[in-house]
């Protein structure tokens, strides 16, 4: 990706001036408004590159891009609940990042962090600076205002010993009585929710009457005294790893999302093994459902199997 050095030549400065004046309506000051250009060019198979036509440059010279197409370029979905007082949520089947316009405080992979530039809402879209996007996603972001090229390196796998943030040890399970957990009852309880709608980034079931994959497993296990983390990638760090031949009802099964991350070792989906080669999970339509583990799509994307009971 070409990187501009605005101080080198008058020709380059002219190009940048044209870019600034051609941006969507903004007010500009008479001082130098040359956008600051990122000097890092993300590279590699999992870098997402696209051209943004709706970028803006403000009077301070900051470059802003719409958040939704930026997230989509690396395969993330976005759900904007800010109009009703909620968060804008990004991720795959799990919510991995949450933010609100006009607030610098965001949640990134379970951590609360502060962005250098506060996201804004403009003409119905949420805009963010590449620097803030880089911090939110904890990855490299490159951009070129003259061409509109945005290049985002897919977030890489983090320390798998962490549960809610870098440097934190995995929290121990809080189990009321392992010996009293009847996996048959657990499966029967999970099946009561068959057909409950799937909702990306679903809030607590008691409030929303919906689940996403990891909120479903968390809800079911909580009934039996097991407090699982909210995200699938963190649930994968609880208990002990087992093989397919060891799989028993009540075990968790984690699935990869090929090409989603720099490492395919990051879970993108989770379900509960029922026995007989079937597992229960929630995904798209019709929501909570039973699927075959040993044939079809899911058999090809199994990542790990974990015993937490």
- Identify whether 269 is a catalytic site residue: yes
- Identify whether 304 is a catalytic site residue: no
Q: Which of 251, 245, 255 is nearest to 226 (CA)?
A: 251
Q: Which residues, listed in sequence order, are joined to residue 99 by a DSSP beta bridge?
A: 88
Asked if 95 contacts 78 with a C-beta cutoff of 8 angstroms, the reply is: no
- Tell me the angle at which helices 213-222 and 183-191 cross, rounded to the nearest 10 degrees: 130
Residue of 26, 213, 219, 304 marked catalytic: 213
Backbone dihedral region of 275: left (phi > 0), alpha (psi from -120 to 50 degrees) or beta?
left
Q: Is the peptide bond before 286 cis (omega within 30 degrees of 0)?
A: yes
Backbone phi, psi, residue 303, to 5°: -110, -60
Residue of 26, 219, 281, 304 marked catalytic: 281
Exposed, middle or buried, 11 (CB in 10 Å: 0-12/13-18/19+)? exposed
Asked if 118 contacts 89 with a C-beta cutoff of 8 angstroms, the reply is: no
For the chain, what's the residue count? Answer: 309
- Identify whether 281 is a catalytic site residue: yes
Active site members: 213, 269, 281
């Amino acid at each position: 990706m070409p990187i501009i050095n605005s101080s080198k030549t008058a020709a380059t400065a002219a190009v940048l001036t044209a870019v600034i004046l051609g941006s969507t309506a903004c007010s500009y000051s008479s001082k130098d408004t040359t956008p600051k250009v990122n000097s890092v060019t993300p590279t590699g198979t999992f870098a997402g590159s696209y051209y943004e036509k709706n970028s803006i440059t403000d009077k301070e010279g900051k470059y802003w891009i719409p958040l939704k197409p930026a997230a989509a370029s690396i395969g993330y979905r976005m759900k904007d609940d800010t109009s009703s007082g909620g968060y804008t949520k990004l991720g795959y089947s799990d919510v991995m990042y949450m933010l609100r316009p006009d607030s610098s405080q965001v949640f990134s992979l379970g951590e609360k962090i502060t962005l250098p530039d506060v996201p804004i809402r403009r003409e119905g879209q949420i805009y963010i600076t590449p620097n803030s996007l880089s911090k939110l996603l904890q990855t490299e972001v490159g951009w070129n205002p003259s061409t509109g090229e945005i290049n985002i390196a897919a977030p890489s796998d983090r320390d798998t010993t962490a549960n809610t943030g870098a440097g934190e040890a995995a929290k121990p399970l809080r189990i009321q009585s392992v010996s009293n957990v009847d996996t048959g009852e657990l499966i029967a309880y999970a099946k009561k929710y068959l057909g409950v709608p799937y909702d990306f980034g679903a809030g607590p079931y008691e409030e929303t009457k919906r689940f996403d994959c990891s909120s479903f497993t968390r809800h079911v296990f909580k009934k039996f005294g097991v407090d699982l983390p909210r995200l699938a990638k963190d649930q994968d760090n609880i208990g002990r790893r087992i093989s397919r031949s060891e799989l028993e009802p009540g075990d968790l099964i984690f699935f990869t999302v090929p090409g989603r991350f720099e490492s395919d070792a990051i879970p993108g989906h989770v379900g509960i093994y029922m026995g007989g080669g079937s597992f229960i999970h929630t995904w798209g339509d019709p929501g909570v459902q039973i699927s075959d583990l040993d044939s079809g799509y899911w058999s090809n994307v199994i990542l790990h199997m974990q015993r937490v009971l």
